Amino acid sequence: MEVVHVELGARRYPIYVGAGCLSELGTRLGEMGCGVRMAVVTNSTVAGHYLEPALVSLRRAGFDPATIQIPDGEEHKNLAMLSRIYDQLIEAGIERSGALVALGGGVVGDLTGFAAATYLRGVACVQVPTTLLAQVDSSIGGKTGVNHVLGKNLIGAFSQPRFVLADVETLRTLPPRELTAGLAEVIKYGVILDAPLFALLEDRIADVQALDRELLVEVVRRCCAIKASVVSADETESGLRAVLNFGHTVGHGIESITGYTRYLHGEAVAIGMVAAARVSRQLGLCGEPDVERVRSVLARCGLPTEVPAELRGEALARAMRADKKARAGAIKFVCLETIGTTRFERLSPEDIVKYL
Amino acid sequence: MEVVHVELGARRYPIYVGAGCLSELGTRLGEMGCGVRMAVVTNSTVAGHYLEPALVSLRRAGFDPATIQIPDGEEHKNLAMLSRIYDQLIEAGIERSGALVALGGGVVGDLTGFAAATYLRGVACVQVPTTLLAQVDSSIGGKTGVNHVLGKNLIGAFSQPRFVLADVETLRTLPPRELTAGLAEVIKYGVILDAPLFALLEDRIADVQALDRELLVEVVRRCCAIKASVVSADETESGLRAVLNFGHTVGHGIESITGYTRYLHGEAVAIGMVAAARVSRQLGLCGEPDVERVRSVLARCGLPTEVPAELRGEALARAMRADKKARAGAIKFVCLETIGTTRFERLSPEDIVKYL
């Protein structure tokens, strides 16, 4: 098992990455020192595969876990579901000393993290991500929250987990489309901050998709290390952390105007990364070969790389303007300089749309 | 104007206490450096007295304030109202750089503080308390949150304001019963940590109730200084801060079993303080004269000091057991040693009820 640390002073925490490490959940929680009564929050799909192994590991370590199941799907990441989680935490008798374990993907992680941040003014949270996207991105860094009908993640808190436990074996039950969507974020890390990782992915993307165990641990660990270093340097996204938004400005816009149903997040980000690379080239910041390398590896994964014609123009600009990261009309847009290097440019949504 | 600081490292913040200082709200917010577009959250009662002066001060300092009005009353401190506040913040176009000003008593302060802690994962919050209870207690220390049908403040976050501005002139429009209830917390500070303040109150409680301006500023400032020092030493109530719960174990229990309608919080705390003093005497920790001094000054204010006969016994014990601060059945009970000095004892709810 590999360990990466998120360096945040007194709130420093480890990310464990391994193949088969779910069985160590109880031991790791035991080392943390929380109350015996705690809760596992998961969804109906993940529960069928991994709830029992998680509970066995927790009980063997002396814990008395309650289980809270939520329905599967992003549409349940809202205040109403959060309210139901609070109800069940109270009914289960979870006290301030208790911990919440988020067992699942990004929706479970974001909801559970926010519930933990706000139940009894804060109880401990542990993230056990079971999707590639959650393992390399959403489980790390303490962004928690729920969606509002007027926008995603408009309600939430920065609240760090006590540890993250990423078992790559859980990816074997992930639908192939979700695995591929997660790869978009993996590729993003290479593009923005790690040229050798990008080259490794260009070389072995088929082996990653075939779930080569050793390669998966290596790739997930490297992504976690990049995310950890960015979060350590800028916990609340006041500056540097925004580099992680590469591809997300256009990606979020596309997700928004297609009602979050047509594309998975990673698919929209794949389109957004190619768009960001093209905007960068139009601004003279990077060359055509780099744009093509980004597009090519995404396409080989089977990810979409083009903004559909019917989504271009004013609707997309309006959606980007509504994003919570817009400040006074201008967007802090992450541009590509070369593979592994980016820079920020203040662009208007209209400029971005124009360059696509 | 007097200034007390809450020392929390990088999150250090000032409490301004004065007579007529509401007019300086805009200037103080300007010094803080937040976005021009911000929001004042207040309730219908307070709005009639102080919204216009607050808006005038803010506009004069160059701000563009939105106004969010909530109904008056503790029954509105819930997730549904929080959700409505989120809606209005989005509609008003408040961005991450924007600030929320809580203009009102504890309900407005707790709701606004929690909204600020969780809107866009956190925007700046300023507390402008207009009740005595809020000025000396709830506006300071970052406890924010909402009630759950199964208990008070079960959902919330520790999130510090950027500053607190307490204008004692706003107490002139406070209903006398609320002013008196607030005095219970003022007296509590004297009992637990400041014997000279307690002596001052014994001597001049009538002048405080008559709203002697100079005396009010002095009393509020001293209470704020005590609360600030306790919060500085223990931000998240892991230890010392629990001293502030003196009188609150029984007080909360009484509020709970009377459905939060019969007593104002301070009235229940007054009863709880006398109860705590009596429990302490039964345990041999303090003498009868100290119990009588506590009871006497509360009674002279017109505050209740006795647990009504019909509320004693098992129902009260059960209510105390359900309190979120109970850990494994035992309550960390704040006992009186002498005026100005306390100690913690682990007591069961049954023990506490027995000693009343």
Residue B240 pLDDT class (50, 70, 90 cuts): confident
What pLDDT shows up at residue A236? 80
> By three-state DSSP, how is residue B146 classified?
strand
Interface contact A324-B95, CB threshold 8 A: yes
DSSP, residue by residue, B43-64? EHHHIIIIIHHHHHHHHHTT-E
| Catalytic-residue membership of A252 | yes
Chain A residues whose CB is inside 8 A of the B83 CB are 79
| Catalytic-residue membership of B76 | no
What pLDDT shows up at residue B117? 98
CA proximity to A243, closest of A337, A160, A161: A337
Q: Which residue has the tokens 């994003």?
A: A323
Local structure of residue A174 (DSSP, 8 states): S
Which of B11, B34, B149, B155 is the best residue to mutate to test the A interface, defined by the most A CB atoms within 10 Å of its own CB? B155
Query: Is B157 in contact with B144 (CB distance < 8 Å)?
Result: yes
> By three-state DSSP, how is residue B216 classified?
helix
Percent of chain B with pLDDT over 70: 98
Q: Which of B227, B281, B293, B295 is catalytic?
A: B227
| B156 → closest Cβ in A118, A145, A158 | A118
Q: Which residues of chain A have pLDDT under 50?
A: none
| Catalytic-residue membership of A121 | yes
A151 touches chain B (CB under 8 A): yes
Summary mean pLDDT of chain B: 95
Q: Which of A28, A77, A188, A265 is catalytic?
A: A265
What pLDDT shows up at residue A192? 97
Strand B13-18 and strand B163-167: the pairing is parallel
Least confident of A194-198, A315-319, B59-63, B139-143: A315-319
> By three-state DSSP, how is residue A3 classified?
strand
Per-residue pLDDT tens over the stretch B182-216: 999 999 999 999 999 999 999 999 999 999 999 99
Longest dimension (CA), chain A: 60
> By three-state DSSP, how is residue A234 classified?
coil
Per-residue pLDDT tens over the stretch B312-352: 888 999 888 877 555 566 889 999 999 999 999 999 999 89
ipTM: 0.88
Environment class of A170 (CB within 10 Å of its CB; exposed 0-12, middle 13-18, buried 19+): buried
List, as ranges, residues 79-108 from A with C-beta within 8 Å of B: 79, 83, 86-87, 90, 95-97
Interface contact B122-A83, CB threshold 8 A: no
